[in-house]
Structure 1
Amino acid sequence: MSVALYAGWERSSSTAEGRETRHSFSFGPHYDPANLGFGPLVCHNDDVLDPPAGYPDHPHSELEIVTWVLEGALVHTDSTGARHVVEAGRAQVLSAGTGIRHSEVADPGSGRCRFVQAWLAPTAAGRDPSYVLGEAPRPGSGLVEVVGPSGLPIGTVGARLLVARLDAGQSLVLPEGARQHVFAATGSVSVGEESLAAGDAVRITDEPGHTVRASEATELLVWSFRGSAHPG
C-alpha cells in the first residue's frame, strides 16, 4: 500500500513548433525503465498547442486513447471517418484496435489548446477501431465518471476516468480502486497528507478513502483501476 507524489516539474518534456508536451511516464526518447506505467496506464501526456500546431496524421494500434480537453478546442480526424472539434470540458475515446490513423490539431478559431491524453493497454487485442465523444460534467457535481461503465466505453476492463471541478474549500472522497492516478490539471489540492500544485500527481495503491480538499479552484482528473493484471 502506498501513496507516491510525482511533482509536475519533474516530468520530461518534448517540444516542437507550436507544441509542448509534458510526460508523466517513460515516453519515446525519454526512456525511464523505472516509470513505464501504472497498471494499464502507459502514457499520460499534458499537451499545449498554439494553433494550428498539433499532430498530423499518424498510426496507432492496440491502445485505448483517452483525451480530455482543458482549454481551447482540438480538431480530431481519423480513418474511421470521424471528424470532431473537441471543446474544453469534453472527453473522447479512440480505440485503436487492429489499427487506425488520426490527426489532432488546435482549432484555429479557439486560441491556445491544452489537453491531457492517456494511453491504456486494452484488455483484449484484435478489436475493430472505434471512436466516441462525451459530454462535459457539470461544475460542482463532485467526481463525475466520464470514461468507464457509467461514461464513455473503453476497452480496458476496470478502468475509469473521473473528473471534478472544485471551488476553493470544497472536498471529496476518492473512490475505491486497486490503483488510482490523481492529477491536478489546474489549481491546487491536498490528497491525504500530500499537497499538489497544478501539474502534480499522486499514484495510490490499495489505499481507498483519501480525502481531496481544494485550496483554490481546481480541475482534478482521477484514473481508477479495479484489480488490474498489469504490474506497472
Structure 2
Amino acid sequence: MFELYKAGDRYTANHGWLKSNFSFSFAEYYDPNNLQFGPMRVLNDDIVQPLRGFGAHPHREMEIVSIVLKGQLKHEDSTGETAITTFGGIQRMSAGTGVVHSEVNPSATEEVNFLQLWFLPEKNGLTPSYERTEFDTNRLKNQLLPVVSKQRGEQTAYIHQDLTIYLSDLDKGKEISLQQEQGRRIFFFVIEGEVTINGEWTLSKRDSARITELPELKIAANADARFMLIDLP
C-alpha cells in the first residue's frame, strides 16, 4: 500500500514567532484517523524566529528526535545536558520516566528550521537521556545514510525502538533502491526537490508517503533532492 500525503494538506499553525506544519495529530490539530504510523507519533516541520523558542516543558515515555535543516537549535534539559545543533547534527532525547527540556533559536539574526519526530519507545520506564551526534554531510550523496538507529554505529544516534532514520542527497537522474522486509513500514518525506518512487508516484518538496507491503522501492530523482526515509516496525 502506498499512501501519498501532499505538503499542502498538512495542518499549519502560525503563531508569528513559530510556524509549524503537522504530519500527524498534534496540539490543537486532532484527527482520529491520523494519530500514528506504527510507533511514529509526530513529525513537525517547525520554523522558529530569532531568539525565540519552546520554553521549559515536560515529556514522558517518548523518543524525541530533532533534525536541523537550517540555522541553529539550542537544547537544555533537566538532566543537565545542553547543546547547539546545526545541519549535520542529530538530537535524540529519551523522555522515559520524565524530563523537562527547552528548545530555542539562539541566533539573533537567522531563523531555524528543524524537523521534530516523536516515536513510542519499545518499553516504558526508561531513564531519561540525551544524545547529540554528528554525521558527515558528504556521505549523504546518492546513498541512504543511517543517522538514527537501534543498531549502534559511528555517527548514528541510538534510539530505543526498532527503527532506522535515513537521510539522502540524490542527484538529478540518479536512482537508489531499498528492499522492504515483510511486515515492516516505511515513512518517506521529501525535504527538497522531487523524486519518483517505483516509476509511479511523484513526490515534491515536503510531500510524504506511508508505505507497506512493497517488496522494493526504487527512488529516482527528477531534480536534485534531499529526503528522509524511516524504516519502522
Over 4 Å off, 4+ runs:
none
Displacement of 1:117: 0.8
Whether the 8 Å contact between 2:41 and 2:117 is mirrored in structure 1 is yes
Distance 1:110 1:219 in 2: 25
User: Structure 1: which 5+ runs fail to align?
Assistant: none
Distance 2:142 2:133 in 1: 16
1:179 aligns with 2:185: yes
SS at match of 2:223: coil
Displacement of 1:206: 2.1
Whether the 8 Å contact between 2:142 and 2:174 is mirrored in structure 1 is no
In structure 1, the partner of 2:202 is 195
SS at match of 2:124: coil
Cα deviation per residue 1:83-141 (whole Å; 9 max; x = unaligned)?
11101122111000000111111131571211111100011100100011111242315
Q: Taking every aligned residue pair, what percent have the same amino acid on both sides?
A: 34
- Superposed counterparts of 1:44-59, under 5 Å: 44-59=43-58
Aligned residues: 224
TM-score of the two chains, using structure 2 as the length reference: 0.92
Q: Which amino acid aligns with 1:114?
A: N
Q: Which amino acid aligns with 1:96?
A: A
In structure 2, the partner of 1:145 is 146
Distance 2:126 2:16 in 1: 35
In structure 2, the partner of 1:33 is 32
- Superposed counterparts of 1:155-170, under 5 Å: 155-156=160-161, 158-170=162-174
Whether the 8 Å contact between 2:59 and 2:98 is mirrored in structure 1 is yes
TM-score of the two chains, using structure 1 as the length reference: 0.92
